[in-house]
Amino acid sequence: MHPILSDFRRFLLYIAACLLMGVGIARLLVAAELSTMSYALLFSLPLALLGGFLASSAYYVCRSLPIAHRRMVTAVLVFGSASLISGLSWLGICHGWNKVLFFLLEDGTELQITPHLSALFFLAGFALYVLALLAFDLYIAFDNMHEADRREAASRLLARDAELQVLRSQIDPHFLFNSLNSISALTAIDPTSARSMTIALADFFRQTLSIAEKEKISLNDEVRLCENFLAVEKIRFGKKLGNTFDISPDAGQALIPPMILQPLLENAIKHGIRNLPQGGIITVTIFRRDQWLHISVKNPVASEASNSAGNGLGLQNLRQRFAAIYGEQARVSWQQTANEFLLEMALPYEQDRPA
């Protein structure tokens, strides 16, 4: 749709600008002593509206020659021809409307359009159309930029949704299978534990589904998800699995991408705690410093590499995910010693606003 007609306020402003131009033409005619003010207004105001209508057609001329595929010679020919036609049309309308007023007015007043004045009317119509072409060309260029931004935003949204779907599918199937096997085994020997494990597993997956639709969640929500996950794993591993959460009071309301902490705990169990006969403690430390949220996850590992040792793909994916969300503002690093693995993250601090 034409940009002037697509917005009522814009349409009114355009009409007002045309009428203002008509008043300017009338003042020029009076100043040149070619007409009285009353006749000049009757002559110029309708002409200004018709001129504005002619100039608005420049939008379609610009649309017919997209900037990305435009050749200079073609553009000059098309734009020049359209401006020439507009100037001649404007000149013909001026002569025609002057004759109409002559027959309509009883006093027989008529504007004497000399060759010099005809040339001025032609040049005015020509110049007005050229300005309209430039203005609409600029408008289309900005509109294309905005459309590209909208498409990019839509692409990012689709990519984020796809990423979340992948995250949901990446929950270790072995975790689910092992949990179900543990529930099956506990049903016969410890029904209470089996019931507790079933409830914890259901809560974990219910919360996973609820946060998967969100772009960011509060740190408290992520911690609750991790607690449900650990509740299931502690029934499986018993006293072999321990954990501590050290979270500063001002960090709980921070906004973070969903499911960035739970996969780290899962890796800590899979590649660390499970391979240690005595088990170990996973330590999570989170605090705010200035405008940054610092998160670290530390867990013991076996001194000798096991068959379950990871290839670092999950950590690389985490780094790429942060790069997509935060650009260069986020940092992820990890290091492993003979008996310990430490992962550290630093994210821009964003406050969760209460509803």
Phi/psi for 194 (5° steps) reads -60, -40
Which pLDDT score is estimated for 353? 61
C-alpha pair distances (Å), 62 with each of 9, 26, 78, 125, 147: 23, 31, 9, 18, 17
Contact (CB, 8 A) for 132 and 55: yes
Across the chain, mean pLDDT equals 85
Domain boundary among 103, 123, 153: 153
- The pLDDT, as a whole number, for residue 160 is 63
In a domain, 158, yes or no: no
Round to whole Å and give the CA distance between 309 and 304: 10
Residue 23 has pLDDT above 90, yes or no: yes
Claim to verify: residue 239 and residue 331 sit in the same structural domain: yes
Q: Do 149 and 229 fall into the same domain?
A: no
Would you say residue 309 has pLDDT above 60? no
Q: Choose one of 153, 186, 218: the last residue of a domain.
A: 153
Least reliable range by pLDDT among 61-70, 83-92, 116-125 = 61-70
* Structure tokens belonging to residue 245: 């959460």
123, pLDDT greater than 90: yes
Q: For 142-160, what is the mean pLDDT?
A: 78
Does 299 fall in a domain?
Answer: yes
The domain total for the chain is 2
Please report which confidence band the pLDDT of residue 303 belongs to, taking 50, 70 and 90 as the band edges. Answer: confident
Residue 294's pLDDT band (cuts 50, 70, 90): very high
- Same domain (yes/no): 273, 314: yes
Instruction: Please check whether residues 328 and 181 belong to one and the same domain.
Output: yes
- Residue 323: band (very low, low, confident or very high) from pLDDT cuts 50, 70, 90: confident
| 295 pLDDT higher than 90 | yes
End-to-end CA distance of the chain: 39
pLDDT band at 157 (very low <50, low <70, confident <90, very high): low
Spatial contact of 345 and 296, defined as CB atoms under 8 Å apart:
yes
pLDDT tens string 38-55: 889 999 999 999 988 889
Confidence of residue 16 (pLDDT cuts 50, 70, 90): very high
Q: What is the pLDDT of residue 7?
A: 84
Cα 321 to Cα 258: distance, rounded to the nearest angstrom: 11
Domain of 267, CATH number, reads: 3.30.565.10
**Model-level pTM?**
0.53
Closest CA to 180 of 238, 242, 241, 235: 235
Q: What is the model's pLDDT at position 173?
A: 63
pLDDT range class, residue 158, cuts 50, 70, 90: low
- pLDDT tens profile 265-291: 988 998 899 889 899 999 999 999 989
Pick from 153, 184, 216: which residue ends a domain? 153
CA 113 from chain centre, in angstroms, equals 56
Within this chain, do residues 239 and 189 fall inside the same structural domain, yes or no? yes
What tens digit of pLDDT does each residue of 162-186 get?
Answer: 665 565 555 556 677 777 888 888 8
225 and 97 in a common domain: no
How does pLDDT run across 181-225, given as a tens digit for each residue?
Answer: 888 888 888 888 888 888 888 888 887 777 766 778 899 999 988
pLDDT value, residue 355 = 42
Indicate if 213 and 143 belong to the same structural domain.
no
DSSP secondary structure string, 8-65? Answer: HHHHHHHHHHHHHHHHHHHHHHHHTTSS-HHHHHHHHHHHHHHHHHHHHTHHHHHHHS
Examine the domain organization and report whether 249 and 143 are in the same domain: no
**pLDDT for 132 beyond 80:** yes
pLDDT of amino acid 315:
77
How many CA within 13 A on the CB side of residue 257? 21
Q: Report phi then psi at 294, rounded to 5.
A: -105, 130
- Per-position b or e across 204-225, b if 16+ CB within 10 A of its CB: beebbeebeeeeebbbebbbbb
Claim to verify: residue 13 and residue 68 sit in the same structural domain: yes
pLDDT on residue 310 = 54
Phi, psi of 280 (to 5 degrees): 175, 180
Regarding whether 187 and 99 lie in a shared domain, the answer is: no
Q: What percent of the chain has pLDDT over 70?
A: 89
pLDDT at 341 over 90: yes
pLDDT computed for residue 257 by the predictor: 87
Assigned domain for 3 exists: no
Structural domain that includes position 244: 170-348
Type of residue numbered 316:
Q
64 within domain boundaries: yes
182 and 125 share one domain: no
Q: Is residue 50 in some structural domain? A: yes
